[in-house]
Amino acid sequence: MANRLLSHLLASAALVPSLTLASPGAAPLVPRTWEGRSYGCKCYFGDACWPKQKDWKDLNSTVNGNLAVIIPPEAACHNFFNGTLGAIQTYDAAKCADVTTNYPREEWINAQDATLMWKYFTNSSCVPTTDAATPCTPGYYGTYVIRAKTKQHVKAGLDFARKKNLRLIVRNTGHDFMGRSTGWGALVINTHSFQDVKFEKKWKGGPSGGYSGSTVTIGAGVRGRDLLRQAAQQNPPVTVVTGECPTVGVAGGFVQGGGHGPLTTIFGFAADNALSFDIITADGKYLTVNEKKHPDLFYGLKGGGPGNYGIVVTASFKTFAERPSAGAQLYINSTLTTNMTLYWDGVRIFHSHANNFVDAGLYVYFSVGPGSMRVRPLVAFNQTAAQLDAVLAPLKADLTAAGVPFWSAPAGQYATFFDLYLDLFEDESAGPPTLTSGWMIAREDIASNNDGIIEAFQTAISPRADLENRGYMVGHLFGAGHGPQPVDVSATNPRFRVSSNLMLYLLPLPTDATWAQKADIQNLLANTVDRAFRDASPNGCAYVNEADPFQDNWQDHFWGPSVYPKLKMLKKKWDPSGLFYAIALPGTENWDVIEYGTRLCKKL
Ligand SMILES: Cc1cc2nc3c(=O)[nH]c(=O)nc-3n(C[C@H](O)[C@H](O)[C@H](O)COP(=O)(O)OP(=O)(O)OC[C@H]3O[C@@H](n4cnc5c(N)ncnc54)[C@H](O)[C@@H]3O)c2cc1C
Ligand SMILES: *[C@@H]1O[C@H](CO)[C@@H](O)[C@H](O)[C@H]1NC(C)=O
Ligand SMILES: *[C@@H]1O[C@H](CO)[C@@H](O)[C@H](O)[C@H]1NC(C)=O
Ligand SMILES: *[C@@H]1O[C@H](CO)[C@@H](O)[C@H](O)[C@H]1NC(C)=O
Ligand SMILES: *[C@@H]1O[C@H](CO)[C@@H](O)[C@H](O)[C@H]1NC(C)=O
Ligand SMILES: *[C@@H]1O[C@H](CO)[C@@H](O)[C@H](O)[C@H]1NC(C)=O
Ligand SMILES: *[C@@H]1O[C@H](CO)[C@@H](O)[C@H](O)[C@H]1NC(C)=O
């Protein structure tokens, strides 16, 4: 709720002296009071319980010297990094130039210890600059990182965090839209070294609902395009359900949140195709989970929310035979028309075809900004260019009949889906501080209320008089229920199976936004833009990885009444003390991040 954020403005912290509470079976929480409420908090730097130098040293030897203090790379542009462990000199002109150039690049961000795509969630407290005298502080970054190279390193970090009552963060690629891969003062376990990939023609890895076809087993850090590239090199070439974004991980937040991508219309979510996970549980056990071994955990890892039940070390997925595929593009922009009435007519007509596209087996990625719609690409897996052109013909005829100018070229034919992927999907870049939300629009609402849905689009682009044309949107047409997947194969919301468009909407904030400005934009997102989408598509749902975590009823929107209670039980069973936490995940209702986005605490 935006109110949670807002109320932070109105109160101040009252500190309670240093006694610690012992709760049975869990590390002691640190008592604090905030806004008149009693909390038990994780242990942070400055608390008496914070590990001693020797403890960190021992941890460092357990992880073979792979423990490091988190210093944002941007610190190279500043004289000092003033971290929790004191000020250190960091200025380095060459490194600063390098950081400044690479700052928006996904590949570079992925490779860092803790850097995020969405800087809003770092509190933008250390940014590239030409003025080295400006401050560089940790913001919402963690304090230490383990650059894990083995599963033993992951376990060592997990056990240390549990025993010492530290905030624990798993950071894979740093893509998360809600800041779930960072936490103030946390111990971070970075998993991007886990790059093993093993393809097999026949699944031999355990019970799998009778599936015996081809599979791949990947390490936690493997990213989408890297996986697809290796899949395309198999003989015969295969493919996998990954994200549209080339650099999103596959076994981390992606599959654990559900995981949709260009093949979802044909093969379902990544979660629908998972066969087995090797994980480390909150109590430090290595477990293999599949259909028969710990089926409740298996279910929860398939869409029940990222990083909530265990740390995934490896995951196995079905693979599918590569097929020739067709791709197309269609743009309406200011070169073609500056008449906004015509432009929105074009968007409306395009969107009225969403259900037809999904029925024809398509996946479509598109963006809608002020006066510019860019549909790139439309993907037809296992179809010819002629088939795709035939699917698009009614759309083009409708646009022409309405006098809407558009650009498109005949559909392109590709020997494989991977060739299409390389040609038509682009790297995305990290931009200025942004808040993101999204809504999955139901088929029946597109059929009955397309005009209302386009009004919600307009609200997202111009949510308020002072923010005219400041919004931006990205849409994904897919039908997770188009293929043969049973509705309950994964812990994804069943409403996804009867929906056609996952719409994301983004609102920018100033880099130096005050708390009042942040609360204002958060409130606008939740109470104006989200509301517009929910009202326009009441039968839709929301995607845990790509939606506003402060929305009301996130339990219902993310999972719904048939799935959520199972996940809440799962959390209670496998992580009763709350070692794993991220916002708006099952069973985290009793936890809050208090004191202006810093301490993670349990309500007492
Ligand atoms: C540009 C962009 C494009 C995107 N495109 C798509 C898309 O096409 N389809 C889609 O479904 N989603 C997409 N997403 C959303 C994406 O799925 C989520 O951001 C997802 O959380 C990323 O997971 P990650 O592991 O790569 O990232 P991280 O940000 O590193 O981690 C995300 C979350 O997963 C947890 N986590 C990571 N690794 C592990 C692990 N090994 N074990 C346990 N928990 C772990 C983290 O703690 C965190 O909570 C996109 C996001 C961005 C920014
Ligand atoms: C951990 O050990 C390595 C290797 O000795 C060292 O380089 C590194 O600085 C140590 N980390 C911390 C946090 O002290
Ligand atoms: C950071 O530390 C340096 C060196 O101690 C000090 O001069 C500077 O004022 C500090 N900056 C901030 C923002 O605390
Ligand atoms: C976060 O940024 C705000 C300013 O927007 C600042 O007041 C606050 O101290 C910062 N918090 C941290 C932990 O950096
Ligand atoms: C509009 O799209 C056309 C076709 O791709 C492109 O050539 C043109 O540069 C675009 N105009 C703008 C303003 O982006
Ligand atoms: C914009 O297009 C609409 C719909 O075709 C038309 O009625 C209107 O006159 C146009 N406006 C301008 C300024 O050309
Ligand atoms: C690909 O298309 C052919 C012919 O239409 C069909 O027989 C086959 O099942 C399809 N394969 C997949 C994986 O969709």
Residue 323: CB within 6 Å of ligand 7? yes
| pLDDT at 484 (0 to 100) | 74
Residue 338: CB within 6 Å of ligand 5? no
- Diameter of the chain measured on Cα atoms: 75
CA 259 to CA 249: how far, in whole Å? 10
How many A from CA of 251 to the centre of ligand 1? 9
Give the number of whichever ligand sits closest to the CA of residue 171: 1
Domain limits, CATH 3.40.462.20, in the chain? 325-558
Domain limits, CATH 3.30.465.10, in the chain? 197-321
CA 421 to CA 9: how far, in whole Å? 46
| pLDDT at 85 (0 to 100) | 86
CA 343 to CA 334: how far, in whole Å? 9
First CA to last CA distance, the chain? 20
Give the number of whichever ligand sits closest to the CA of residue 264: 1
Which residue positions in the chain have pLDDT lower than 50?
Answer: 1-25
Nearest CA to ligand 1 atom 6: 243
- DSSP bridge pairs for 216: 199, 317
CA 81 to CA 90: how far, in whole Å? 6
DSSP 8-state class, residue 350: H
How many A from CA of 133 to the centre of ligand 3? 9
| pLDDT at 26 (0 to 100) | 54
Q: Which atom of ligand 1 is nearest to the CA of 306?
A: 34
How many A from CA of 381 to the centre of ligand 7? 9
Over the stretch 361-414, which tens digit does the pLDDT of each residue have? 999 999 999 999 999 999 999 999 999 999 999 999 999 999 999 999 999 999
Residue 331: CB within 6 Å of ligand 5? yes
| pLDDT at 485 (0 to 100) | 72
Residues with CB under 6 A from ligand 1: 117, 169-177, 180-181, 191, 220, 243-245, 248-249, 252-254, 256-257, 259-261, 306-307, 311-312, 428, 545-546, 582
CATH architecture of structural domain 325-558 = 3-Layer(aba) Sandwich (3.40)
How many A from CA of 247 to the centre of ligand 5? 26
Per CATH, domain 197-321 is 3.40.1010.10: no
CA 509 to CA 523: how far, in whole Å? 13
Residue 87: CB within 6 Å of ligand 3? yes
Pairing of strands 86-89, 472-477: unpaired
Residue of 125, 126, 143, 600 best suited for mutating to test ligand 4, as the one with most atoms within 8 Å of CB: 125
Task: Identify whether the C-beta of residue 347 lies closer than 8 Å to the C-beta of residue 332.
Answer: yes
| pLDDT at 481 (0 to 100) | 87
Residue of 312, 545, 558 best suited for mutating to test ligand 1, as the one with most atoms within 8 Å of CB: 545
- DSSP bridge pairs for 290: 276
Residue of 105, 109, 181 best suited for mutating to test ligand 1, as the one with most atoms within 8 Å of CB: 181
| pLDDT at 2 (0 to 100) | 35
Residue 335: CB within 6 Å of ligand 5? yes
